[in-house]
């Protein structure tokens, strides 16, 4: 497999952290051109700090990190401290990062990179609200034709919402941004709650990560202990869903996942269902298919990959 150039757009968040670590542990397959922070789980100053903390933990001090948009395109920012804690990385304390933020704005980095790299050679991996991506597409429409693929975590259909009865958090926070992305014509693969809720880090899986025995694995263990409590209390499941790492795992092992190429549109008008991903799973309309909507994964294969890769850092 040729090395895939990626930009990770993220709102860390403990699950974002594991996704970033998975990407940084796979340099033979993934060339992380940069990490762009966006406001989401916690405000931008914290998501951009957390991205630096995570790269430092991985020992990847050269990773370019950029701060992006501090608020959604049109709406007030909604955050998720109730899930991720006040810092966004509650559960394991790490020292303040020394790794610097780059001066450029994340949106300028995304535009510049897509205009510089060969057309169709860069994959965008959004793990949070789509504000940075939509802003880049609006400011520079020419980049849409230069994106290889967007593989994002967001949305839900059969699993319904996690922040409202209708909507998943990333899409809910900035539905207008999501609408721009899903109408961009760029090839999109979606990791919705339908698949991420099948990626539960249950006790045996968490113990396997802790058994790696490195400081990094202890940090991941602490983060997971904190992060899973919300979903375990809410859904009564055995462990929290590892939402964002499914995006990176898909790039590494697409064979672990399955889905359908269907039409997905975003509710932006209704207050009741704002941010809903209206997925035409049964193709009952003649709306054009615009996304591969992933519904299932091989969970044991996913956690085996994740554990093996985290042990490399
Ligand atoms: O709904 C789950 C998503 O919202 C994940 O990306 C999590 O990190 C939060 O951003
Ligand atoms: Ca996230």
For the stretch 29-65, pLDDT in tens is 999 999 999 999 999 999 999 999 999 999 999 999 9
243 has catalytic annotation: yes
Pairing of strands 122-126, 257-262: unpaired
Residue 153's closest CA among 173, 125, 186, 133?
125
- CB of 162 within 6 A of ligand 1: the answer is yes
Can you tell me the mean pLDDT for 158-178? 97
pLDDT at 207: 96
The ligand whose atoms approach the alpha carbon of 81 most closely is: 1
* Distance (Å, whole) CA 20 – CA 25: 9
Distance 244 CA to ligand 1 centre (A): 7
pLDDT at 196: 98
Residue range of the domain that includes 112: 4-310
Distance 30 CA to ligand 2 centre (A): 19
Query: Mean pLDDT over all residues of the chain?
Result: 97
| Beta strands in 109-239, from DSSP E residues, in sequence order | 122-126, 147-153, 188-191, 200-201
Could you tell me the pLDDT band of residue 126, with boundaries at 50, 70 and 90?
very high
Cβ contact 168:153 at 8 Å: no
Can you tell me the mean pLDDT for 13-40? 98
Q: Is the pLDDT of residue 312 over 90?
A: yes
Cβ contact 8:66 at 8 Å: no
The ligand whose atoms approach the alpha carbon of 169 most closely is: 1
- CB of 156 within 6 A of ligand 1: the answer is no
| Beta strands in the chain, from DSSP E residues, in sequence order | 4-10, 30-37, 65-67, 122-126, 147-153, 188-191, 200-201, 240-241, 257-262, 264-266, 277-279, 291-297
Q: Is the pLDDT of residue 192 over 80?
A: yes
Could you tell me the pLDDT band of residue 2, with boundaries at 50, 70 and 90?
confident
- CB of 228 within 6 A of ligand 1: the answer is no
Task: Using alpha carbons, list the distances in angstroms from residue 84 to 45, 63, 262.
Answer: 15, 24, 32
* Distance (Å, whole) CA 4 – CA 251: 8
pLDDT at 283: 97
Could you tell me the pLDDT band of residue 1, with boundaries at 50, 70 and 90?
low
Which of 82, 197, 243, 261 is catalytic? The answer is 243
Question: Please, how many CA atoms are within 13 Å of residue 255, restricted to the half-sphere of its CB?
Answer: 3
- CB of 246 within 6 A of ligand 1: the answer is no
Q: Is the pLDDT of residue 237 over 80?
A: no
Distance 118 CA to ligand 1 centre (A): 30
Atom in ligand 1 nearest the alpha carbon of residue 169: 1
- CB of 174 within 6 A of ligand 1: the answer is no
- CB of 245 within 6 A of ligand 1: the answer is no
Could you tell me the pLDDT band of residue 228, with boundaries at 50, 70 and 90?
confident
* Distance (Å, whole) CA 11 – CA 42: 7
For the stretch 73-125, pLDDT in tens is 999 999 999 999 999 999 999 999 999 999 999 999 999 999 999 999 999 99
Q: Each residue of 186-220: b (16+ CB within 10 Å) or e? A: bbbbbbbbbbbbbbbbeeebbebbbebeeebbebb
Can you tell me the mean pLDDT for 193-211? 96
The ligand whose atoms approach the alpha carbon of 80 most closely is: 1
Residue 245's closest CA among 223, 260, 264, 261?
223
Return the CATH number at 260. Answer: 3.90.245.10
User: How many domains are there within the chain?
Assistant: 1
* Distance (Å, whole) CA 5 – CA 179: 25
* Distance (Å, whole) CA 160 – CA 170: 13
pLDDT at 236: 81
Mutate to test the pocket of ligand 1, among 11, 197, 227 (most ligand atoms within 8 A of CB): 11
Can you tell me the mean pLDDT for 212-227? 96
Distance 146 CA to ligand 1 centre (A): 26
């Amino acid at each position: 497999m040729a090395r895939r150039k990626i930009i990770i757009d993220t709102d860390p968040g403990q699950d974002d952290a594991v996704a970033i670590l998975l990407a940084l542990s796979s340099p033979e397959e993934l060339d992380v051109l940069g990490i762009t922070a966006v406001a989401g789980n916690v405000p931008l100053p914290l998501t951009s700090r957390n991205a630096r903390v995570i790269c430092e933990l991985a020992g990847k001090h050269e990773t370019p990190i950029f701060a992006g948009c501090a608020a959604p395109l049109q709406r007030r920012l909604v955050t998720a401290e109730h899930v991720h804690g006040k810092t966004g990385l509650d559960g394991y304390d790490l020292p303040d990062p020394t790794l610097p933020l780059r001066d450029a704005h994340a949106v300028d980095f995304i535009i510049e990179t897509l205009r510089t790299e060969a057309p169709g050679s860069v994959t965008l991996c959004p793990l949070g609200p789509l504000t940075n991506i939509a802003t880049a597409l609006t400011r520079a429409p020419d980049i849409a034709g230069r994106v290889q693929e967007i593989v994002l975590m967001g949305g839900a259909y059969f699993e319904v919402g996690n922040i409202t009865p209708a909507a998943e958090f990333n899409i809910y926070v900035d539905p207008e941004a999501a609408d721009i992305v899903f109408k961009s014509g760029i090839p999109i693969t979606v990791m919705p709650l339908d698949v991420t809720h099948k990626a539960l880090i249950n006790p045996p899986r968490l113990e396997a990560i802790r058994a790696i025995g490195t400081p990094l694995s202890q940090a991941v263990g602490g983060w997971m202990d904190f992060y899973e409590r919300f979903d375990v209390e809410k859904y009564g499941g055995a462990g929290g869903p590892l939402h964002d790492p499914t995006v990176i795992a898909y790039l590494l092992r697409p064979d672990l996942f399955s889905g359908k190429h269907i039409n997905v549109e975003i509710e932006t008008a209704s207050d009741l269902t704002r941010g809903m991903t209206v997925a035409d799973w049964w193709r009952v309309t003649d709306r054009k298919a615009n996304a591969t909507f992933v519904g299932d994964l091989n969970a044991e294969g996913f956690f085996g990959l994740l554990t093996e890769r985290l042990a490399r850092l």
